Structure 1
Amino acid sequence: MSSDPWGRVDETGTVYVRTADGEKVVGSWQAGTPEEALAYFERKYEGLVVEIGLLERRVKTTDLSAKDAQQAIDHLRQQVDEHHAVGDLEALAKRLDALVESVDKRREERKVQRAKQSDEARHAKEALVNEAEELAQSEQWRAAGERLRALVDTWKGLPRLDRKSDDELWHRFSHARSAFSKRRKAHFASLDAQREEARKTKERLVAEAESLSGSTDWGVTAARYRELMAEWKAAGRAQRESEDDLWNRFRGAQDIFFAARSGVFAERDAEQAENLALKEELAAEAEKLVPVTDLKAARATFRSINERWEAVGHVPRDARPKVEGRMHAVERALQESEETEWRRTNPEARARAAGLTGQLQAAVDKLRGQIDTARAAGNNARADKLAKELEGRQALLDQALKGLEEFGG
C-alpha cells in the first residue's frame, strides 16, 4: 500500500483522497505501482490548480463576463466535487468560493455601472430630444439641418435604454426631425415660387431696359431707368442660374444708354463752357457802363449787349447765377439812374416837394418862437417839451430839403 498526506492506494488498487469529510474514492489503478497511481492523480490536481489560477487572473485582469466566469467556476467545481484528483481539494473549493464572491461583486459593480450608464444615456438622449425639438422651430435651415444630422450620429453612439423609454424618446426625436424637414421643404418650395415670380418680373424689366437703351430723351429715360432699378431691387432674387444672366442684360442696356448720354453731355458741356466765356465778356462790357454818366447812351449800349447776350446759348447750370447776377446788377443801376432822372425832371413832384418843405420850415420857425416865449416866461418844462417836438420837425425838414435838391434846388 502507498500513501501521501492527501491520499493513498490500498491493496486492491483503489485510490483515495483525504477530505474534511473523510476519505473519498478517487478511482482505481491497476496498470502500475501505487506510487504511479498517486502521481497520476496528483498531476490531475495540479492541473486543477493551474486552471483555477488562470481563471482567477482572467476574472481579475480581463472583462470576462459574469456569466462566462460562473460557467467556468461551475465546471471546475464539478471536477473538484467529483474527487478525481489527489490534493487539498478543500483549498481549491475555497478558492472557487472566493472566485464566486469576486464574480458576484463584479456583477454588482457592473449592474451599478450599467444603471449609471443607462441614467447618463437617458439624460443624454433627453437633451438630444429637447435640442431637436427647439431646432424644429428654427429658420436657420442649413445650420439647423447640419446640427440635426450631428444629433443623429450622437444618438447612434449612445447605449440603448429599456425598450419603452428608448422608443418614446426616439419617437419625439424623429418627430422633431420630420417637423423641421417639413417646414424646410415648405420654405424652399415658397422660396422657389418667389424666385420664379422674381425671374418673370426681371425678364419684363430687362425687356423694357433693352427697349430704352437707344433713347435720346435723356432726362425722361434716365428717370425711368432709376425707377426700373428700384423695381429690380424690390423684386428679390431669381434662381441663381437666371439671376446673373438677367442682371448682365439689365446692366448692359443701361450702360449703352448712359454711355450715349455721357457723350452728348460731354459735347454740350464743352459748348456751354464756350458760352460761359462769351457771357462773362459781355458782363464785363456791361459793367463798364456803371457808374452811369450818360443815361441815354448807357441804355442804348446795354440793349446792344443784351441782344448779343440772348444770342449766346446755355451756360453750365452751376455758373449761371453768378454771370446772370452781374448783368442784373448793371440793369438795376440803369433803372435807379432812370428813377433819379425822372424825379429830378418831374414838375409836379418838384412842386409837391417845395410845398412840403415850405410847410415844414414854417412849422420849425413857429416852434422856435414858442420855445423862446416859454423860456422868457420861465416855463422851462414847456420849452423842453417843444424842443423835443422841434427835433422831429427839423429832421423831417432836412429830409425834405435833401429831396428838393434832387430836383435841382
Structure 2
Amino acid sequence: MTTAAEHAWGRVDADGNVYLKTTDGERLIGQWAVGEDPTEAFAFYERRYADLVTEVDLLEKRLETGNLSPDDAVKALDKARTNITDAAALGDLATLQTRLDALSPAIEKAREERKAAREAAQAEAKVKKIAIADEAEKIAAGTDWRNGADRLRALLEEWKALPRLTKSADDEIWHRFSSARTTYTRHRKAHFTEQNEQRDAAAKTKKALIEEAEKLSSSTEWGPTSTAYRELMSRWKAAGSAPRNVEDKLWKRFRAAQDVFFTARDEANAAQDKEFEANAVVKLQILVEAEALLPIKDLEAARKAWHDIADRWEAAGKVPRGQINELEGRLRKVEQAIRAAGDQEWKRSDPEKSARADDMIGKLERAIDETRASLAKAEAAGDARKVKDLTAKLESNESFLAMAKAAAADFG
C-alpha cells in the first residue's frame, strides 16, 4: 500500500492511482508505483504541465510576432487543444484552454491582415506589371537596337520578382509584355539582317573603288587624277560602312593607293616649283618697278609703264605655288591704284560718259580679277583643261578692257 497524498490539482490514492481535478470531477491520468514517494509523482506530472505551458507560451509569441501563418496557427492551436484535453499532467489546464480560446480571434485578425496585405501587394504588383508592359511596348515601337534588348531583359527580371496576380489578370498583362518582346526581337533581327546585307554590299562596292584607286595610282595627269580621287572619296563615303572586321583593311588599301599617287604628285610639284624659282626672282624685280609707280603722280606715264610691266610679267612665266597669291596680290594693288587714278581722271573729264565707262570697266576688271584668282587655283591644282579655258577667258576680258579703256581715254 502507498500512503495517499493530496495536490492542489490532484491526488495519489493508496493504490498508486494519480488523479487530476477538473471542473467536472476527477480524471485518472496515470499510475505510480506502490510504495514510492507520491511527491515524486506530483513532480513528474507537474513537469508535463510545464511543457504544456511552454507550448502555449510559444504559440502566443509566434502569433504576436507574425512568424506563423494563420493556417499553420490553426493547426498548431488544434494540436495544443488536443494535447491539453488529453494531457496526463497536474496543473491549471482550464486556464491553458482559455488562453488557447483567446488566440482564435487573433488568428482571424492576422488572417484578415494578411489578406489585406496580399491584396495591396497584388494591386501594387498589377500597377508595376502594367508599367512593365507599357515600357516594353514603347521599346518594341522604337529602334534602339543597342539598349532595347538589355532593357527588356531587365524588365523580365523585374516581372519575375513581383507577386503573381489572379490568373486572368496575370495572363492578360503577360500577353502584352510577351508580345512586345517578340515584336522587338523580330524587328531587331530584321534590322541587323538588313544592316549585314548593306554592309556586305558596301564591302563589295569599296573593293571595286579600291581597284579603281589602284589603277589611278601610277597616273601622272595630276589635275584630272586628283579630281578622280576626290570623286572616288565621295563614292567611298556614300557607300556606307562595311563589316567591322574588313572596314579597316579596305580603308588601308584605298588610302595606300591614294598615297602612292599624291606622293608622286607632290614630288613632281616640288620639282616644278624648283624650276619656277628663277621666274619668281624675275617677278620680284618687276614688282619693285611696279610698286615704285605708287603713289600715282603722272597717270599717263604710269599707264605706259604699266603696259610694259604687264607684258614682262606675263613673259616671266609661272612661279612656285607658295608664292602665287603673294606676288599676284602685290601686282594687283598697283593695277588697282592706276585704275583708281584713271577713274578719277575720267570722271573729271566727262561725268556722264565717265560713269557709264566706269561701270563697264569696273565689271570687266572684276571679271578679270575673278578669272585670275580661278586661274591661279587651277594652276595650283594642276588642272590643265581648266587652265586652258580660264586663260582664254582672261585674254578675252583683257581685250575688251583694253578697248573700253581706249574709248575712255578719248573722253579725257
Same fold (TM over 0.5): yes
The question of whether the paired residues in 1 share the 8 Å contact of 2:279 and 2:317 is answered with yes
**Quick one: structure 1 residues 77 and 287, their matched pair in 2 at CA, closer, same or farther if it must change by over 3 Å?**
closer
The question of whether the paired residues in 2 share the 8 Å contact of 1:24 and 1:83 is answered with no
Are 1:103 and 2:107 matched, yes or no? yes
Are 1:221 and 2:199 matched, yes or no? no
Structure 2 partner of 1:247: 251
**Quick one: structure 1 residues 101 and 32, their matched pair in 2 at CA, closer, same or farther if it must change by over 3 Å?**
farther
**2:71 equivalent among 42, 67, 70:** 67
Q: 2 CA distance for matches of 1:18 and 1:199?
A: 102
Structure 2 partner of 1:313: 317
**Quick one: structure 1 residues 282 and 47, their matched pair in 2 at CA, closer, same or farther if it must change by over 3 Å?**
closer
**Quick one: structure 1 residues 210 and 88, their matched pair in 2 at CA, closer, same or farther if it must change by over 3 Å?**
same
Structure 2 partner of 1:5: 8
Structure 1 partner of 2:143: 139
Q: 1 CA distance for matches of 2:337 and 2:202?
A: 58
- 5 Å-filtered alignment, 1:270-289, equals 270-281=274-285
Q: Aligned to 1:262, what secondary structure does the other structure show?
A: helix
Structure 1 partner of 2:211: 207
The question of whether the paired residues in 1 share the 8 Å contact of 2:15 and 2:34 is answered with no
Are 1:45 and 2:49 matched, yes or no? yes
The question of whether the paired residues in 2 share the 8 Å contact of 1:17 and 1:83 is answered with no
**1:80 equivalent among 61, 77, 84:** 84
**Quick one: structure 1 residues 215 and 23, their matched pair in 2 at CA, closer, same or farther if it must change by over 3 Å?**
same
Structure 2 partner of 1:268: 272
Structure 2 partner of 1:24: 27
Structure 2 partner of 1:153: 157
Q: 1 CA distance for matches of 2:57 and 2:50?
A: 10
**Quick one: structure 1 residues 4 and 287, their matched pair in 2 at CA, closer, same or farther if it must change by over 3 Å?**
closer
RMSD of aligned residue pairs (Cα, Å): 3.7
Are 1:258 and 2:250 matched, yes or no? no
Residue 122 of structure 1 aligns to which amino acid in structure 2?
K
Q: Scaled by the length of structure 2, what TM-score is found?
A: 0.68
Q: Aligned to 2:55, what secondary structure does the other structure show?
A: helix
Are 1:123 and 2:115 matched, yes or no? no
Q: Aligned to 1:16, what secondary structure does the other structure show?
A: strand
Point out the structure with max Rg over C-alpha: 1
Q: Aligned to 2:88, what secondary structure does the other structure show?
A: coil
Q: 2 CA distance for matches of 1:194 and 1:93?
A: 83
Q: 2 CA distance for matches of 1:76 and 1:327?
A: 122
The question of whether the paired residues in 1 share the 8 Å contact of 2:290 and 2:331 is answered with no
**Quick one: structure 1 residues 323 and 118, their matched pair in 2 at CA, closer, same or farther if it must change by over 3 Å?**
closer
* Higher mean C-alpha displacement, 43-52 vs 132-141: 43-52
* Higher mean C-alpha displacement, 3-12 vs 30-39: 30-39
Please give the per-residue CA displacement for 1:322-352, whole angstroms capped at 9, x wherever unaligned. 659979999xxxxxxxxxxxxxxxxxxxxxx
Residue 215 of structure 1 aligns to which amino acid in structure 2?
S
Q: Scaled by the length of structure 1, what TM-score is found?
A: 0.69
Q: Gapped runs of 5+ residues in structure 2?
A: 339-409
- 5 Å-filtered alignment, 1:183-202, equals 183-202=187-206
The question of whether the paired residues in 2 share the 8 Å contact of 1:287 and 1:327 is answered with no
Structure 2 partner of 1:386: none
The count of corresponding residues between Structure 1 and Structure 2 is 327
Residue 216 of structure 1 aligns to which amino acid in structure 2?
T
**Quick one: structure 1 residues 228 and 68, their matched pair in 2 at CA, closer, same or farther if it must change by over 3 Å?**
same
Q: 2 CA distance for matches of 1:77 and 1:282?
A: 128
**Quick one: structure 1 residues 194 and 14, their matched pair in 2 at CA, closer, same or farther if it must change by over 3 Å?**
same
**Quick one: structure 1 residues 211 and 8, their matched pair in 2 at CA, closer, same or farther if it must change by over 3 Å?**
same
Q: 2 CA distance for matches of 1:123 and 1:192?
A: 40
Q: 1 CA distance for matches of 2:298 and 2:7?
A: 159
The question of whether the paired residues in 1 share the 8 Å contact of 2:287 and 2:330 is answered with no
Percent pairwise identity: 47
How much has 1:198 moved relative to structure 2? Answer: 0.9
Please give the per-residue CA displacement for 1:156-175, whole angstroms capped at 9, x wherever unaligned. 22222223322322222111
**Quick one: structure 1 residues 292 and 6, their matched pair in 2 at CA, closer, same or farther if it must change by over 3 Å?**
closer
Q: 2 CA distance for matches of 1:22 and 1:216?
A: 130
The question of whether the paired residues in 1 share the 8 Å contact of 2:136 and 2:181 is answered with yes
**Quick one: structure 1 residues 326 and 168, their matched pair in 2 at CA, closer, same or farther if it must change by over 3 Å?**
closer
Q: 2 CA distance for matches of 1:143 and 1:63?
A: 43
How much has 1:121 moved relative to structure 2? Answer: 1.6
How much has 1:67 moved relative to structure 2? Answer: 2.7
Please give the per-residue CA displacement for 1:187-235, whole angstroms capped at 9, x wherever unaligned. 0111111111111111111111111111111111111111111111111
Q: 2 CA distance for matches of 1:328 and 1:30?
A: 145
Please give the per-residue CA displacement for 1:96-155, whole angstroms capped at 9, x wherever unaligned. 122333333222222222222222222221111111111111211111111111111111
Q: 1 CA distance for matches of 2:291 and 2:174?
A: 97
